[in-house]
Structure 1
């Protein structure tokens, strides 16, 4: 059976790989000339090297992502520390510290002042139980306000990064789903991982090669403007594009941006290769071989600032933290205006299921109802779910997705 997969982002690639492995003939369409969606790399002439369009920090508990990379032969393309450690720098105090989780399921680390968040006490961590009981209408900041320094020095940054939404309006249930598969399981599920060479080299190019070797047809730079109701199809495009192709489809319609800066500067990677920054504009810093990459989530709050002003502010924070020269190096700014859906309760309720009213058409994308916020793990799960649902129909079976 021939199956069309429309959209060659991570969700579409995951669906195409699962269908191909099951013996179906896949035709993969992508409107852009390159695959990967928001997880791709390109050569930048200003910096004279390849850069990612953004930084994506994975965790060892992202089982769908790790299985996808195993399938396409890219599991060795990830790197990161061997232990569940997260270095931080507090711009307000000038102090650096490292969160050191233990490997097992029971959180022994919260009993050690050298491992846990500075200034926290055991009772602060009891506040995390509120997340487990979060209702769909609960918001992150009001729910976790009572955790004191645990919130201001850790949870606030984790929330805005995982949800790409201000904690003041973000759905606490979305953060609960992240914690349920990481912190709640223990350190063994929370070891940080990120692409060693680049996002395309990890998530995209190996998948395209894997698909071509198995007979899949890949049509880059070819936009699909109309669906054939009789054709088995997985639609893995952004929500606004899906709404145009499927009349009456309810999708998220409010979005948040992510701002990324790449400075041409070599920085020793330290213990982990990255740092979380607290109390400033900078949020996550990654030390690549010749570039320092910075990610700022929920970046719409800085829409009135120029790229030069943002770069100056961020570099001043990095220079202060690492005792670097104050002069701003050559840099490239990448601002993704509609990077993810806004993770408010109202927008989360607009996420559609995998199945549509047409049994030949399934939806995939991090904006669908994956049980996770808009992440790579969620995108890959959505692709897997769409492929499985479509194959169940093709085989005359029933499946719950």
Structure 2
């Protein structure tokens, strides 16, 4: 009989796993997705209020994110991503009014130009050395005790953006892992990558199209409600609206669902706690106003943290919302506050916007405290034919697109390697 592999979850990790499996002839692969769309936390949609396609959330992709770039290439969508020509990110300090550009040196020649930060490279190097030496039980704030200009301009905004948590609780080891794949590798790994027509258009829709072309079945509105086990193996998938699916002796399951869903399906006691919310505000503006913004801008001293430009839409990201000035605000109040930050960043205080949309993603990541990092699920489950996939699965990186792709591909490869296991 044909070996069947069931992938539960059509997020980026699930799609990456299915793509890996689909390269092996002779397999029957089915992806089960509980919602009516693919992508998980990475998707795009036509917003009727804005009249534009927007992403549900902004993701900062860098040229060092090799797995994401390779994923785009494998699905024939490399041309749907744009890589900036240099490793430069403009920043605006709304309290002091200062502007600077963070430049990541690519070599000794670039070092003579400096980093653009208001604090010198020797101080930053000392902070980095402390971060690199910190044990896995330390938070970022414990690893870098000094509170100088680099803390406010670099370490705090990076921690919030990368780990979706304040540095007082976020894992130093997770930040170190991300920086070792980006800043530590120099400018060649730190050029911003954007998706002009949306992340769904670049990373999700072509993946689903390729899977279907290869004969993979993708089922939507098909929530798995239980996984029955017999003899130490997953034996049956149960659904809310479908008949149970029995698993043969050579069949396998890749569970690419959020950790709380995995815990409920398998009766797991310890999984990472849900993380904080991420707030995204999308403003449609006049084209001449949008032209004043860089593709990506970091903001210091305001409620906004990052501003992304795509066409005539300016999108603001606020990570760890519960720890920011917009926590608890109404939709109208939050939009007003964030637009004020956008207008100040652009130097056009009198400017207004045409339309706006506020999106709040609760528990946008797993909680990135050291103890939650330690509670991440291993790829291999107690069931011999079931593997976990997702950015919450044990690995060096936090909840990122890169981690999701790496985990999905690893699970797919491991399932193929297992053969009839």
Shared fold (TM-score greater than 0.5)?
A: yes
Q: Does 1:52 align with 2:55?
A: yes
Alignment match, 2:378:
353
Q: Secondary structure at the match of 2:145?
A: helix
Q: Secondary structure at the match of 1:341?
A: coil
Alignment match, 2:113:
112
Alignment match, 1:192:
192
* 1:284-307 CA distance string (max 9 Å, x none): 101111211111101123432111
Q: Secondary structure at the match of 1:256?
A: coil
- The Cα of 1:342 is off from its aligned counterpart by 1.1
- Cα distance in 2 for partners of 1:68, 1:11 equals 11
Alignment match, 1:15:
17
Q: Does 1:239 align with 2:259?
A: yes
Q: Which has the larger radius of gyration?
A: 2
Instruction: For 1:2-401, list aligned pairs within 5 A.
Output: 2-23=4-25, 24-104=27-107, 109-113=110-114, 115-146=115-146, 148-227=148-227, 229-230=234-235, 231=247, 232-248=252-268, 250-265=270-285, 266=287, 267-269=289-291, 272-301=294-323, 302-324=326-348, 325-394=350-419
| Segment drifting more, 128-137 vs 170-179 | 128-137
CA contact (8 A) 1:91 1:277 kept: yes
Alignment match, 2:244:
none
CA gap 1:147/1:125 in 2 versus in 1, 3 angstroms: farther
CA contact (8 A) 2:294 2:308 kept: no
TM-score (norm 2): 0.89
- The Cα of 1:227 is off from its aligned counterpart by 2.2
* 1:40-75 CA distance string (max 9 Å, x none): 011111111111101111111111111111110111
CA contact (8 A) 1:127 1:147 kept: no
- The Cα of 1:80 is off from its aligned counterpart by 3.8
Count residues with an aligned counterpart: 393
When the two chains are superposed, the root-mean-square deviation of aligned CA atoms in Å is 1.7
TM-score (norm 1): 0.94
- Cα distance in 1 for partners of 2:112, 2:55 equals 38
* 1:85-104 CA distance string (max 9 Å, x none): 11111111112211122334
- The Cα of 1:195 is off from its aligned counterpart by 1.3
CA contact (8 A) 2:100 2:116 kept: no
Q: Which runs of 5+ in 1 are unaligned?
A: 397-401
* 1:111-136 CA distance string (max 9 Å, x none): 434x3302435233222111111211
Q: Which runs of 5+ in 2 are unaligned?
A: 229-233, 236-246
- Cα distance in 2 for partners of 1:151, 1:110 equals 20
